[in-house]
Structure 1
Amino acid sequence: MMENWQELTALCETCGCSVRYAEPLRNHTTFRIGGNCGAFVSINSIETLRRVLALCREKQYPYLVLGNGSNVLAADSGYAGVILHLGHDFSGIQQKGSELFCESGATLARIGKYALEESLTGMECLAGIPGTVGGALYMNAGAYGGEMADVVVSASYMLPDGTITEIPREKMELGYRRSIFREMDGIIVGTTLRLQPGNYGEIKAEMDTLMGRRRAKQPLELPSAGSTFQRPVGNYASFLIDQCGLKGASVGDAQVSTKHAGFVVNTGKATCHDVLELCDFVKQTVLEKTGYQLELEPVFVGDSEKP
C-alpha cells in the first residue's frame, strides 16, 4: 500500500466503511474488464461520502463514482485515483405513499422488486436493467419504451464541497441517454421516484414478460456493458451492425454478439484495448456502408477522460 493512503485508511476505519487498495476494476464491472484502481472505498453513508470527498480535495486525490459498473468500460491500465463505490452499503429505500426515496446504490432490480411487493406500477420497464438508480439517472437509462425520466421526481445531489442540493426533474435536462448530471461536478446521492398504485398480478406478469424478452434476445450469459452503441437518430445500432454482416466479428476475446448485434461481449479474457479496437472497426464499417455515425454508450473509466 502506498504510504500516502494512510489517512484514507484511518478515515475509513473511523467511518466503518471498507477500503481496498490495488483493487481490480474487472471485479466491479459487468464487462469483467479493467486494471487496478488506487483505492476502492465502499461508501456507507452521506457523512462518509462527505468526509472522503473532503480528504480527496485536501490531498488532491482524483476520484470517480462507480455503481454497479454495468455501463462502464474500464481501462486496462486501471485508475490511479479513488473509486467511490455507491453500492450495497448505500442502497436504502424509503417509502412515502406511492413515492420511493432510493439511495444511489440501490439497484433497479431491487427497487423493482420492492415496487412489486407494494403493488406499485412504473418500474416494470426499468427493473431488468442491471444498474443502480444513481447510475440510471445519470444517463437516463431506459428500455422497452420506458426511461428514468418517466418516474423520477427529484434527486439529492452532493457538490464537491459536501453540501447537498435538491434538483427537481424539470431541471435535469433529461433526454436520450443524457442528463444535466453528466456535465455537473458532483454526485447523485438519492433519487425520489413517483410510481402509481397497481395490481400485483398485472405488475408481475409484465415484469416476467419483459425479463423473458431480455433472456431470449440479449446475450445475458456473457459479460458485457449492455448496449454498446447509442441509438442513432432514425435507426437502430443493432440493425445497422447486423445489416453490415458484423455479428460474430471479434478482436481478441471481444466479440459482436451473435445473439444481438447491439452488444459487444467478453467471451473470455477480453481487454479494454480489444473492445475499443473492435468498436472502432464496427463504427468505421457502419459509416462506410450506411452513412450512420455510431457513438459508444458505456462510460470510460481511466486516468484520461477518453479512451
Structure 2
Amino acid sequence: MYDKLIQITSKSNVMVNELLKNHTYTRLGGKADFYVTPETYEQVQEVIRLANQENIAFTMLGNGSNLIVKDGGIRGIVMNLQKLSDIKTVGNTIIAQSGARIIDTSREALKEELTGLEFACGIPGSVGGALFMNAGAYGGEIKDVLTSTVVVDREGEILTLTADQLDLAYRTSNIPENGYIVLEATFTLEAGEYDAIKEVMDDLTNRRETKQPLEYPSCGSVFKRPPGHFAGKLIQDSELQGMQIGGAQVSLKHAGFIVNKDDATAKEYIDLIKYVQKTVKEKFDVKLEREVKIIGEELA
C-alpha cells in the first residue's frame, strides 16, 4: 500500500504509523496506518479510488480542532488536506481551499475590505471542517456566507454543489452522510470598511482570548447549545468546573471546555465528557449533545 500511495503523491506526503496526537488540537490519538497529505485535487481523487480498489478503510482528517481520536488510532488511510490551502479573492467572493484555516480566510476578507466573515476570526478549524459542521460563533455561521463548494464523492468524482445542497443547519450538514470531501469553498461577502471590520474582529478575538482556556489543548466547545439553555452554565451550575479524570479537566476558565491539562489519554477525555453528560442529565434533566466528533479505535 505504501508503494502505491507514494506513486500517487510522494514519499514526503505519506507517513506510516503516524501518531495522530501530533495532528489534533486536543493532543490526543493513537497511530494512523498511513497518513497522506495530497497536494492536488487529482491526488485526492486517486487516493480515494485506491482505497476503494484495495477495500481499505479511509478516513478524512481536517486540522483536528473539533475532533477526538481514540488511543488505538485509525486503521487504513488517513488523509489530511493541509497542503491544499490557497485563498484568493475575486470581486466580493473569496475562494478558499479545504486545508486553509477559516481564521486565515477571515483575515483575507479583512485585507480585501469585505464584511461577513468576522465571526470566523476565532474559529480554529480548516475551511473543509467549517463546512462539515457549519461552524459558527458570535451569531454568525458558515451558511450565512457560503455560496458553493467543490467536493469529491465516495467514488472519487468531483462535484460542484450550491450551499443549499448541503442542508446546512446548526452545527451540521449532509457532508458526512454523503461521504463528501470538501476541496474548496466560495464565500460571497459584502463591501465594507477596513477599520470597522477590524474593530469587530479585534473585539471578538479579545472576547475569545479572555474567556476561553487557550493555554491548554482542547477541542473547543464540547457540547452543542441545548434548546433554552447554555451548556457552560449547566455544567457550571452542576459544580463540575475543575472536575478531573486523569489528565483531562473541565476548564476552570470556561465550563463548556474540557482541556488536556496533563498529558491526558483520549479515554480519560471521553470518560470526562460522559461524566459531565450524566451529571447534567441527573441534575437538570437536560441532555447535552456532543459537538465534538469522536473517531478511531480503543486501545487493544
The two structures, once aligned, show a CA RMSD in angstroms of 1.2
Worse overlay, 57-66 or 252-261: 57-66
Question: What secondary structure, in the 3-state scheme, does the structure 1 residue paired with 2:154 have?
Answer: coil
Amino acid at match of 2:77: V
Deviation of 1:185 after TM superposition, in Å, equals: 1.6
Per-residue displacement from partner, 1:32-62 (whole Å, max 9, x unpaired)?
A: 0000101111121101101111111111121
Deviation of 1:139 after TM superposition, in Å, equals: 0.2
Question: What secondary structure, in the 3-state scheme, does the structure 1 residue paired with 2:220 have?
Answer: coil
Q: TM-score, normalised by structure 2?
A: 0.96
Cα separation, 2, equivalents of 1:84 and 1:234: 38
**1:59 and 2:37 aligned:** no
Q: Which residue pairs with 1:289 in the alignment? A: 283
Cα separation, 2, equivalents of 1:288 and 1:127: 36
Deviation of 1:253 after TM superposition, in Å, equals: 0.5
Deviation of 1:188 after TM superposition, in Å, equals: 1.2
**1:38 and 2:33 aligned:** yes
Q: TM-score, normalised by structure 1?
A: 0.94
Q: Which residue pairs with 1:104 in the alignment? A: 98
Aligned residues: 298
Amino acid at match of 1:160: R
Find the partner of 1:47 among 39, 42, 47.
42
**1:177 and 2:174 aligned:** no
Q: Which residue pairs with 1:6 in the alignment? A: 3
Cα separation, 2, equivalents of 1:41 and 1:226: 25
Report matched runs for 1:90-239 at 5 Å. 90-239=84-233
Deviation of 1:303 after TM superposition, in Å, equals: 4.2
**1:264 and 2:258 aligned:** yes
Deviation of 1:63 after TM superposition, in Å, equals: 1.1
Per-residue displacement from partner, 1:189-223 (whole Å, max 9, x unpaired)?
A: 11110111111111111111100000110001110
Find the partner of 2:293 among 299, 302, 305.
299
Question: What secondary structure, in the 3-state scheme, does the structure 2 residue paired with 1:127 have?
Answer: helix
Deviation of 1:10 after TM superposition, in Å, equals: 2.8
Deviation of 1:95 after TM superposition, in Å, equals: 1.8
Q: Which residue pairs with 1:70 in the alignment? A: 65
Cα separation, 2, equivalents of 1:17 and 1:43: 10
Worse overlay, 55-64 or 24-33: 55-64
Find the partner of 1:243 among 237, 240, 246.
237
Contact 1:91 / 1:103 at 8 angstroms: preserved in 2?
yes
Q: Which residue pairs with 2:14 in the alignment? A: 19
Identity %: 40
Deviation of 1:108 after TM superposition, in Å, equals: 1.0
Cα separation, 2, equivalents of 1:212 and 1:24: 33
Cα separation, 2, equivalents of 1:78 and 1:152: 33
Per-residue displacement from partner, 1:7-33 (whole Å, max 9, x unpaired)?
A: 2233222xx861111111000000000
Question: What secondary structure, in the 3-state scheme, does the structure 2 residue paired with 1:269 have?
Answer: coil
Find the partner of 1:275 among 269, 274, 283.
269
Gaps of 5+ in 2: none
